[in-house]
Amino acid sequence: MNIKRKKNKIKIYNNNNLSKTNTIDKNEFINLSEKNLNNDIPSWQKMIDFVINQQNIPSGGCLYVVATPIGNLYDITLRGLAILSSSDIILAENTIITHKILNFYNIKSQKIISFHDFDHNIDYALNLLNSGKKVSLVSDAGTPTISDPGSILIYRAKISNIRVIPIPGPSSISAAMSVSGVLGDNWLFVGFLPKKSSQKKNKLEYLKELDTNVIILESPYRILDTLYKILDIFGSKHMICIGREMTKMHEEIIFDTIENIFILYNKREIIKGEIVLIISQDNKTLEDNIQLHKKEVIEYHQSNIENNNIMQHTQNKKCNHIINNIKTINNDNNNDNMQDSIKNFIKSNVLCSDVKENNIESNIIENIAKIENSAKKIFQSLFEYQIPLNTATRIVVNLLNINRNTAYKIGLLTQKINSVNGFTIDKNKN
């Protein structure tokens, strides 16, 4: 897409004086973001201005590590664009690609210089940082210093007490992981494998012994050799994911056995694009993992059913224990109707409805009001059968595991409400 430059180009901010001209409020910012930004270049510029003015720019020299698109030029954050537009200098692994990104967003940048770890530009960059300049570091694609130049500069900046700030964004590694289909919790990023055949083989044999998913970067010129060695070491049925040309027009992401992927790539006359390769930590096929997942789901549901049965048994046992206490305390072994009524009330109104999802202790923590309501219901039921306040308090404490003083106050309040409503309690039994 060709973008014509407008007269009202984005303002380049001096590092010591961040002008607040052309600022916009948050509501206007939201409205601008909903426009067709492809046809409204000033909207981009206003939003970038807005982000710049929201930044807490540190005083003194600062090194920004800015992530840039890995293919699709729209995959960059507004904060990244704002930092690039307000930097005094940009250190770029590939100046042509960096110019392309800035031109795409109509950003007139400051000086851009080529940068590699082995360049003399490291000392030049450190001198700029020590003099108070704002410097941005970008790679040709993705997040800098991950299998890219820049690590030495960041190390030297750190030991020189220069602030280094990450500006996160696109990464081929996280992009491939997110859609790989590879299972497991452990991940190991190894970057590019050694170029020498013997060293590459030794590295893969070492990686095979690790209980982890392995993430590898590879060039299109060496991918066939790498796939062949993985096939030989890990076995033909081992599952891998290969991501090529991610976020671009000819994006390709395949999750299959090493054998099938090797056969597919071996048939191609030309292979283009940078590649991310993920080797699964287990040797299960896709069908094996589907069956395993089904089995885990079935076992999970069976476990829930068993736990519910155990909980119900425990609740019934506790109800019986409480009813026996009521019988003993009141010396009323013959009033079976009263026992059954209280038992059914407790089971239906407390244990089944109030704690059907969690245990009693969890509900006390999660919802005090709910427990208090349950206590009032129990007190009300017990008072109807002339159970004294102290006795009823012990029953509520036993049932709900709440503090005795708290239970007593709830019972006393319930008793007073009953008295006001004309319901009398046999106080002699207290």
| CATH, residue 31 | 3.40.1010.10
Asked if 368 and 402 sit in the same domain, the reply is yes
Tell me whether residue 56 is in a domain.
Answer: yes
Asked if 197 and 144 sit in the same domain, the reply is no
Asked if 218 and 323 sit in the same domain, the reply is no
Is the whole-model pTM more than 0.85? no
Per-residue model confidence (pLDDT) at position 428 = 40
Tell me whether residue 1 is in a domain.
Answer: no
pLDDT tens by residue, 192-222: 999 999 999 999 999 999 989 999 999 999 9
Tell me whether residue 390 is in a domain.
Answer: yes
Asked if 313 and 276 sit in the same domain, the reply is no
Instruction: Indicate the angle between helix axes 258-266 and 223-234, nearest 10 degrees.
Output: 150
Strands 134-138 and 62-66 turn out to be parallel
Residue in the block written with tokens 């306040």: 389
Range of the domain at 206: 174-284
Per-residue model confidence (pLDDT) at position 296 = 66
Asked if 106 and 92 sit in the same domain, the reply is yes
Per-residue model confidence (pLDDT) at position 199 = 95
222, 253, 284 — which closes off a domain?
284
Per-residue model confidence (pLDDT) at position 166 = 94
Question: 164 has which bridge partners?
Answer: 63
Q: What CATH number should be reported for the domain holding residue 218?
A: 3.30.950.10
Per-residue model confidence (pLDDT) at position 226 = 95
Per-residue model confidence (pLDDT) at position 329 = 47
Per-residue model confidence (pLDDT) at position 298 = 67
Locate the DSSP E strands across 182-266. Answer: 187-192, 213-218, 239-244, 252-257
Report the distance separating Cα 154 and Cα 64, nearest Å.
10
Report the distance separating Cα 157 and Cα 63, nearest Å.
8
Identify the sign of the CA torsion 287, 293, 297, 298. Answer: positive
Tell me whether residue 16 is in a domain.
Answer: no
Asked if 218 and 158 sit in the same domain, the reply is no
Count CA atoms within 13 Å of residue 40 on its CB side: 11
Tell me whether residue 21 is in a domain.
Answer: no
**Three-state SS for 253?**
strand
Report the distance separating Cα 85 and Cα 265, nearest Å.
41
Per-residue model confidence (pLDDT) at position 136 = 92
Rg of the chain over all Cα atoms, to the nearest angstrom = 35
170, 199, 221 — which closes off a domain?
170
Residue type, 415: Q
pLDDT tens by residue, 352-395: 334 444 444 444 445 567 777 888 888 888 887 778 888 888 88
Asked if 401 and 332 sit in the same domain, the reply is yes
Question: 255 has which bridge partners?
Answer: 241
Identify the sign of the CA torsion 364, 366, 369, 370. Answer: negative
Total count of domains within the chain: 3
Asked if 153 and 239 sit in the same domain, the reply is no
Residue in the block written with tokens 């019934």: 316
Residue 399 structure tokens: 């049932």
Asked if 294 and 243 sit in the same domain, the reply is no
- Residues of the chain short of pLDDT 50, as ranges, are 1-39, 329-334, 348-365, 424-430
Count of C-beta atoms within a 10 Å radius of residue 50:
20
Asked if 159 and 184 sit in the same domain, the reply is no
Tell me whether residue 12 is in a domain.
Answer: no
Tell me whether residue 14 is in a domain.
Answer: no
Per-residue model confidence (pLDDT) at position 275 = 94
Asked if 134 and 40 sit in the same domain, the reply is yes
Asked if 191 and 236 sit in the same domain, the reply is yes
Report the distance separating Cα 38 and Cα 199, nearest Å.
48
Residue 392 structure tokens: 């009823």
Q: Which residues contact 356 (CB under 8 A, 6 or more apart)?
A: none
Q: Which long-range contacts (CB under 8 A, 24 or more apart) does 282-291 make?
A: 282/183, 282/184, 282/239, 283/234, 283/235, 283/237, 283/238, 283/239, 284/239, 285/237, 285/239, 285/257, 286/181, 286/239, 286/255, 286/256, 289/183
Per-residue model confidence (pLDDT) at position 12 = 30
Tell me whether residue 313 is in a domain.
Answer: yes
In what helix (H) or strand (E) does residue 91 lie, and over which residues does it extend?
strand 89-92
Instruction: Give per-residue burial for 223-243: e unless 16+ CB within 10 Å, then b.
Output: beebbebbbebbeeebbbbbb
137, 170, 203 — which closes off a domain?
170
Locate the DSSP E strands across 100-238. Answer: 111-114, 134-138, 163-167, 187-192, 213-218
